[in-house]
Amino acid sequence: MNYVIISLYLAGMVALGVAGYQYGTKTPDDYFLAGRRVGALVTFFTLIATNFSAFFFLGFAGAGYRIGYSYYVPMAFGTGLVGVAIILIGDRVWRLGKRHGYITPPELVGDRLGSVPLKIVFLTVMVVFTLPYLALQPIGAGYLLAQLSGGAIPEFAGAVLLTVIMVAYVFLGGMRSVALTDVVQGAMILTLMLLAVLVIGHALGGIGEANRRVFALEPSLFSRAGRGDFYNARTWFSYMILWFLAVPMFPQVFMRFFIPKSSLSLKVSASLYPLVTAGLFFGPVIIGVWGHLVFPDLAGTTSDQILPMMMADLAPPWVSAFVMVGALAAFMSTMDSQLLALSSMITRDVYVSFFNRDASVELQVRVGRWLVVILSLIGLAIAYQPPDTFFAIVTEAFTGLAVLFPATLAVLYWRRVTAAGCIASILAGEGALLGFRVGWIPEALGFGFLPLVPIITLTTVTLLALGRWRGAVPEPAVVGRPRIS
């Protein structure tokens, strides 16, 4: 039964990939951005499916188990604030992209200030913090497939199989295929998480009853600060702003601001985003909290497996298989978008900008396609034996990308911004992140906040200090852009 469900899902993804291909992918605009003609519903689903990775299924439940209900709030409210970020960043990026033909985030940021060095710095940060993330995704996907097959499919073989299918539809249809699969994957994430909560809640005697039993067993899971006082006022504040700053700077999310057909798509997405996080994010956290009723003594990261363990223990096998395919969908919807985002940036901002400025539109698409293959092979090679530094980079990826937020905002809105200020701001932020990570900067300088807060303060101050405070504001130069259509 499990094999039938997995096969149907994977065949459906390939079919959607082929459908995306048939609508035409002959120009970079078309291949990387679906021709900027994506409607409201698809924009909404592609934004949520891209952002909600398998961490939503597995990591949230694990954290719910370890921390309790308080984990729900910074994740749901913090991510809900992405709706405001869509107003602030998304709308302006969409308008500029439509008017000037930008395809990648570094292209937009560098071009607005006429600065190639800024474009390179922006690109480097996005690649450095996205590539290891991409490389580690197949590990989790392989693990899920091994679970679903009862161990019959070894983890690495599962990682290879899923990567091959994902590469097939990204290779064929680019953003159009990715967006189409995102609609199905997003719908699966929403419905299957709801199904998981209802089935497990029913097995535990009802949702209210399950909560009362957990409270009697471990009341700290219901406390405001979380189990073991996980949050204090300062870390709470830090987590509340983290997603607002980081999510729009994920290259795969940033690029989605270029794709809508009209501003209506962004308006709908921004309005619905907080509603989705309000409801959906309860699911895995609740299941994690309930995990104490069935598996009371899980330690450390073993608790990240609480959702599959609960499903295996309390749900009929076919329901369990469906829900785990939902987790697989969450994995794939994030990884395919990262793959396409990295491919587009390397094609446009490296290959075309520095090696072949006269590349035809057909050649750009061809290069983009083969980069999808090459990047996935790199990902698999790293997944086979990931170096420790990769785990460290992934741990810091959110803060590392959030460092780009002040410079991006300034480029979009502030007339006195300078390229030097943006570059210094980004380098100062990444330097401080490294300093906190390796201990060159004492933890005390974080003043009890997560490093994110002093780092963003530093980047903002640097940006402002190097603004063009004297004289008239000159018109920014425009770096010649490669062809897009």
Partner 1 sequence: MSPRGRRAIWSAIFLALFVLSLDYWRWDERVRFGPLGLPSWSLYFVALLVLLSGAIAVFARTDWEGDGEEPPASEPAP
User: For binding to partner 1 (CB under 8 A), which residues are involved?
Assistant: 69, 72-73, 76-77, 80-81, 83-84, 87, 91-92, 95-96, 99-100, 112-113, 207-212, 215, 219, 222-225, 233, 236-237, 240, 262-264, 267, 270-275, 277-279, 282, 412-415, 417, 473, 475-476, 478
Burial class from Cβ neighbours inside 10 Å (0-12, 13-18, 19+) for residue 226 reads buried
| Least distance (Å) between residue 99 CB and partner 1 | 8
Q: What is the DSSP letter of 38?
A: B
| Least distance (Å) between residue 87 CB and partner 1 | 7
Q: Helix, strand or coil for residue 260?
A: strand
Phi and psi angles of residue 224, each rounded to the nearest 5 degrees, phi first: -65, -40
Task: Please say which residue, 237 or 390, places its beta carbon nearer to partner 1.
Answer: 237
| Least distance (Å) between residue 241 CB and partner 1 | 8
Task: Please say which residue, 21 or 222, places its beta carbon nearer to partner 1.
Answer: 222
| Least distance (Å) between residue 220 CB and partner 1 | 10
Task: Please say which residue, 230 or 390, places its beta carbon nearer to partner 1.
Answer: 230
| Least distance (Å) between residue 374 CB and partner 1 | 33
Nearest-Å Rg of the Cα atoms of the chain is 22
Task: Please say which residue, 104 or 277, places its beta carbon nearer to partner 1.
Answer: 277
| Least distance (Å) between residue 322 CB and partner 1 | 23
| Least distance (Å) between residue 109 CB and partner 1 | 12
| Least distance (Å) between residue 394 CB and partner 1 | 27
Alpha-carbon distance 29 to 39, whole Å?
16
| Least distance (Å) between residue 68 CB and partner 1 | 9
Alpha-carbon distance 483 to 391, whole Å?
37
Q: Which of 175, 250, 245, 187 lies closest to 48 in space, CA to CA?
A: 187
Neighbours of 385 (CB within 10 A): 6
Task: Please say which residue, 101 or 308, places its beta carbon nearer to partner 1.
Answer: 101
Q: Which of 311, 328, 326, 332 lies closest to 189 in space, CA to CA?
A: 326
Q: Helix, strand or coil for residue 482?
A: coil
Alpha-carbon distance 431 to 413, whole Å?
25
Task: Please say which residue, 79 or 337, places its beta carbon nearer to partner 1.
Answer: 79
Task: Please say which residue, 17 or 68, places its beta carbon nearer to partner 1.
Answer: 68
Neighbours of 15 (CB within 10 A): 14
Q: Which residue's entry shows tokens 């990295």?
A: 342
| Least distance (Å) between residue 240 CB and partner 1 | 6
CA 201 and chain centroid, separation: 29
Neighbours of 4 (CB within 10 A): 10
Task: Please say which residue, 76 or 125, places its beta carbon nearer to partner 1.
Answer: 76
Task: Please say which residue, 85 or 323, places its beta carbon nearer to partner 1.
Answer: 85
Task: Please say which residue, 442 or 480, places its beta carbon nearer to partner 1.
Answer: 480
Task: Please say which residue, 143 or 273, places its beta carbon nearer to partner 1.
Answer: 273
The CB-based long-range contact list for 429-436 (8 Å cut-off, 24+ gap) reads 429/403, 429/455, 429/456, 429/458, 429/459, 429/462, 430/125, 430/400, 430/403, 432/458, 433/396, 433/399, 433/400, 433/403
Alpha-carbon distance 68 to 379, whole Å?
34
Burial pattern 182-196, b for ≥16 Cβ within 10 A else e, equals bbbbbebbbebbebb
| Least distance (Å) between residue 306 CB and partner 1 | 19
Task: Give the per-residue SS3 of 419-464.
Answer: HHHHHHHHHHHHHHHHHHHHCCCCHHHHCCCCCHHHHHHHHHHHHH
| Least distance (Å) between residue 81 CB and partner 1 | 7
Task: Please say which residue, 157 or 272, places its beta carbon nearer to partner 1.
Answer: 272
The answer to whether 70 and 226 are in contact (CB under 8 A) is: yes
Stated as kind and residue range, the H or E segment containing 400 is helix 397-402
Task: Please say which residue, 140 or 260, places its beta carbon nearer to partner 1.
Answer: 260
Fill in the amino acid letter for 308: P
| Least distance (Å) between residue 244 CB and partner 1 | 9
